[in-house]
Homo-oligomer: A and B are copies of this chain.
Amino acid sequence: MQKKNPIYTGENSFSLLQQYIEDGHFSRLIFLVDENTHEHCLPILLQQLEDLPPTEVLEIEAGEGSKDAEVLLQLWFALSDLGADRYSLIINVGGGVVTDLGGFLAGTFMRGIPFVNIPTSLLAMVDASNGGKTGVNLGGYKNRVGLFLNPEVVCVNVGFLETLPLRERKSGFAEMLKHGLISDYHYFNELLELDIEEDYPTEVMIERSIAIKQSFIDKDFRESGPRKALNFGHSIGHAIESLSLHSASPLLHGEAIILGMMAEVLLSVQYCGFDPELAGEINSKLKKIYPELVMPEDHSTIVELIYGDKKNKSQQLNFSLLSKPGQCEVNVKVEEKYIIEALKKVKNP
C-alpha cells in the first residue's frame, strides 16, 4: 500500500503548501500548466507563495489531446533539458489532463521524483487529482499507459473555480453526481438542488465528494474490487469519450460520463434489480441538467471501444452498476445486446 497523501482544503491550503515546500528543501520547482492555467491560475498561486527555490514552467496545450504518450515523451526530454533531478518537485497546476499526465511524468522521471497536484477544475478537485491514478492515452485508448501513484500533497482551493467556463464546471459536477449515486443518495438529491448554471458547488460539497472517493480508495487502492464502484458510468462513458476524441466536437470527460451513467442506470435495472421507475426519474433529472448532451449514434463502435477498455477481462464485459440508490455492485457481467439497447433508449427516451 502506498503512502496516503494529505489533501489540503479550505483557506489554509496555500499556507500548508508553502510549509510543505519549505520543509522539502527542493533544488527547484517545476510547474506543469496548460495555456489557460498558465494565464489564469499560476499567477494567483505564485502570489500566495514566497521564498521559492528556482522555478521553471512547462506548458502544454489545453485539452485531452495533450494527455498522450507523444507529449509525455517531449516532457521527459524537457525535464531532462531543464536539469531536473531527484530533488526537484513537480507541481501540476490544472485539470485532470495536467494532473494525470504530470503525475505519470514525475513518477517515471529518474525512477520517480515527488509531485504535488493543484487541481484548478472542478473535475480535478473531486476526482482526477486524488486517488493515485496517473496516465496517458495511447492511440485513442484512454489511460492505456499509467501508474497507480499518489502525489505528495493535493492542494484544493475552490477559488480557482471562478477561472472555469460553465461547461467545465458542469463536467466536474457529473462526477459529484456519480459520487451521490454510488454512495450517498441523500447527497445526490442535495446536489440536484444546486443550480449549476448559476452557482458553484460549496466547499463542503467538494469535501464530501473527495471523502466518498477516498472511502473507496482506502478499501482498494489498486482497484481489484470495491474501488471499481467509482467506474459507474465509465465503461460506456469512456468509450463515448474515446469516440468523441476523433469527432469535430469532442465531449468533455464529465459530459461523456453523464451519457454513460444514463445508459448504465438502465443496465442497472436489467442486471441489478434497480427500481425502473427511479431509473427513469434519475435519467430525467440528469437530462434536465444536461439538455445539450446527445448520445452518439455509432453504437457498434462504442461497444468495440468498451471491449478495448482495460477494465474488462478478455471477452467478458464487467460493469459497475447500481443495485440501489447510493449503492453499487461491481463486476457485473453485461451482454452486448443490452448495452446496445440501453444506448438506443438513452437516445430516444
Contacts and interface: CB of A to CB of B under 8 A. Distances in A.
Contacts of A112: 147-148, 222
A86 interface: yes
Interface in A128-173: 133-135, 138-139, 141, 143-148
Contact of A147 (B73, B108, B141): B108
Please state the number of chain copies in the assembly.
2
A110 interface: yes
Contact of A133 (B87, B111, B147): B111
Given A76-B138, A77-B139, A138-B76, A148 B310 contact: no
Given A138-B77, A139-B80, A310-B86, A146 B69 contact: no
| Interface SS of chain A | mixed
Contact of A314 (B85, B111, B148, B313): B85
Contacts of A77: 138-139
Contacts of A108: 104, 108, 145-147
A141 B143 CA distance: 27
Given A109-B144, A133-B111, A145-B108, A87 B138 contact: no
Nearest to A144: B80
Interface in A105-130: 107-112
Contact of A80 (B27, B110, B138, B314): B138
A69 B105 CA distance: 13
Contact of A111 (B86, B109, B110, B135): B135
A124 to B, nearest CB: 18
A81 to B, nearest CB: 9
Interface string A70-85: 1001001100100001
A70 B70 CA distance: 9
A106 B276 CA distance: 43
A331 to B, nearest CB: 13
B314 A110 contact: no
A165 B138 CA distance: 38
A27 B134 CA distance: 25
Contact of A27 (B86, B111, B313): B313
Given A76-B145, A104-B108, A108-B108, 16 more contacts: A76-B144, A80-B138, A80-B139, A85-B312, A86-B310, A87-B313, A87-B314, A107-B147, A110-B143, A110-B144, A110-B145, A110-B146, A111-B143, A111-B148, A112-B148, A147-B147
